[in-house]
Amino acid sequence: MTEITAKQEDLIVRPSAGLSLRGTIRVPGDKSISHRALMLGAIASGETEIQGLLLGEDPRSTASCFRALGADISELNEQLVKVRGLGVGGLIEPATVLDAGNSGTTLRLMLGILASQPGMFFTVTGDKSLRSRPMSRVVKPLQQMGAQIWGRQDGSLAPLAILGQKLQPIHYPSPIASAQVKSCILLAGLMTEGKTTVTEPSLSRDHSERMLKAFGAQIEVNPDTHSVTVTGPAQLRGQKVVVPGDISSAAFWLVAGAIVPDADLTVENVGINPTRTGILEVLQMMDADIEILEQHSVAGEPVASLRVRHSQLKATTIAGDIIPRLIDEIPILAVAAAFAKGTTVVKDAAELRVKESDRLQVMAAQLNRMGAKVTELPDGLEIIGGTPLHGAEVDSHDDHRCAMSLAIAALRASDTTTIRRAAAAAISYPDFTPTLVQICQ
Ligand code: S3P
């Protein structure tokens, strides 16, 4: 019997020799879409109804910030969350500090909204990890629009103080493909008279564009130049949002199914927005046996069931324009690569160094503790696949995606692995451990 035990913050995984993964599961709601549904609901007029919201710690941070800003958000649950919005420009000045917890998306997107509320004063902060993550990528373009923002290191680190202003529209050529940067500027553009445009070097996830359009904003997308324009001032109307399952959470089961002998798993109701499906393309390139079933569209987002069966993976190179389309899946792809024949190289992924942890450093160090052969590159990883992994004591560094990736690696390790601080999984996937127990046979 495979033993999976949660002990305080840690997770202990002892796989049995005959471990097999079987079953049909669902993953929780998409984190990016959950944040946006709460935020747009809060600044729209009328009521927004959200089905399938992710109940992870990150969307909880968004809900608590926007409650403090005056939005009426019902108790969070997966069935139905009701948001009574205040209208664009209708937020109230909170009497307390807005705390985004561990969530970069909460803080960076919210900054665009706050900076454009004339005359209102806000202070924002986050946990230790978020307070060390770069905010200049959003503060700089907002300052170009006329925003007043203060913080440590020339306004680049939270806590930040913001005095809302009437902003000027800009055309911002973003040096990085980041949906958080793009969304922050578009949200600031809602309150700004004229056309605010963001151009990215390659396309990042487009959930903001899709949802802003659905809420009634005037959005123009130019796919050839990776540009998005919002025309302000905009009025948003509350909508019904159905949140699909998060492909970034499904990714753990896709890799588990690919690397565990005899596995046969189906993950239902997974969002397969093309700006997020880099993981499917890479796993298919690695010879994973993945079927995309029952494709349909739910509230403007494509959804499918994904079936994965075990196969021998082969190494690949992951670089260039695909990186933003699988940015959150690189830790679990590193695990897949450790079981693939040959040497996998990940490049152009320096962004991973400024996520919830330095994911390149954490994944290389922790997988190597289990016997893998991973070398850190300045902007990626080199992984020589095929060396057998053994149980070890590893540490998530409080990073949800590293915690879950290491738990999947542990399924194919000889002996017992203890993942320290695995409870971080609750940021994006509170039921990760019960689901792991459910499919282990
Ligand atoms: C997100 C964008 C990505 C991603 C993060 C969620 C979003 O970050 O890593 O988990 O919801 O906009 P970057 O925009 O910094 O790449």
Reported as a single tens digit per residue, the pLDDT across 22-49 is: 999 999 999 999 999 999 999 999 999 9
The catalytically annotated residue of 30, 58, 246, 328 is 328
Q: Is the CB of 180 under 6 A from ligand 1?
A: yes
Query: Do 189 and 226 lie in a common domain?
Result: yes
Atom of ligand 1 nearest to the CA of 137: 15
Q: Are residues 359 and 262 in the same domain?
A: yes
pTM: 0.98
Question: In terms of domains, do 13 and 150 share one?
Answer: no
What does the pLDDT read at residue 441?
82
Convert the pLDDT of each residue in 131-182 to its tens digit. 999 999 999 999 999 999 999 999 999 999 999 999 999 999 999 999 999 9
Nearest Cα neighbor of 6 from 441, 428, 418 is 418
Query: Does residue 84 carry a pLDDT above 90?
Result: yes
Q: What pLDDT band is residue 298 in, cutting at 50, 70 and 90?
A: confident
Q: What is the pLDDT of residue 300?
A: 82
- Does 283 lie in the same domain as 412? yes
Mean pLDDT of 57-66: 98
Mean pLDDT value across the chain: 97
Query: Could you report the per-residue pLDDT of 117-145, keeping only the tens digit for each?
Result: 999 999 999 999 999 999 999 999 999 99
Whether residue 299 is predicted with pLDDT greater than 90 in this model: the reply is: no
The CB of 120 under 6 Å from ligand 1? The reply is: no
Binned at pLDDT 50, 70 and 90, residue 112 comes out as: very high
Final residue of a structural domain among 242, 258, 280: 242
What CATH number is attached to the domain comprising 129?
3.65.10.10
Among 221, 242, 263, the domain boundary falls at 242
Ligand 1 geometric centre to CA of 263 (Å): 31
- Are 208 and 313 found together in one domain? no
Q: What pLDDT does 393 receive?
A: 98
- Percent of the chain whose pLDDT exceeds 70: 100
314 and 175 together in one domain: no
Is it the case that residue 9 has pLDDT exceeding 90? yes
Q: Within this chain, do residues 121 and 264 fall inside the same structural domain, yes or no? A: no
Can you give the residue range of the structural domain that contains 60? 31-242
* Catalytic residue flag (residue 328): yes
Q: Residue 67, annotated ligand binder?
A: no
Q: Is 258 in the same domain as 204? A: no
For residue range 239-296, list pLDDT tens digits in order.
999 999 999 999 999 999 999 999 999 999 999 999 999 999 999 999 999 999 999 9
| Residue 411 scores a pLDDT above 90 | yes
The answer on 161 and 37 residing in a single domain is yes
Q: Which amino acid appears at position 252 of this protein?
A: F
Position 345 confidence tier, pLDDT thresholds 50, 70, 90: very high
Over residues 369-396, mean pLDDT: 98
Whether 208 is in the pocket of ligand 1, judged by its Cβ within 6 Å, is: no
Shared domain for 296 and 190, answered yes or no, is no
At residue 308, the pLDDT reads 98
Q: Please give the tally of structural domains in the chain.
A: 2
Instruction: Provide the pLDDT confidence category of residue 185 given band limits of 50, 70 and 90.
Output: very high
Shared-domain flag, residues 108 and 233: yes
Are 15 and 35 contained in the same domain? no
> Which residue from 180, 186, 404 has its CB within 8 A of the most atoms of ligand 1, so it is best to mutate?
180
Looking at the DSSP bridge assignments, the partners of residue 24 are: 266
Take atom 10 of ligand 1 and give the residue whose Cα is closest.
328
Domain C-terminal end among 199, 226, 242: 242
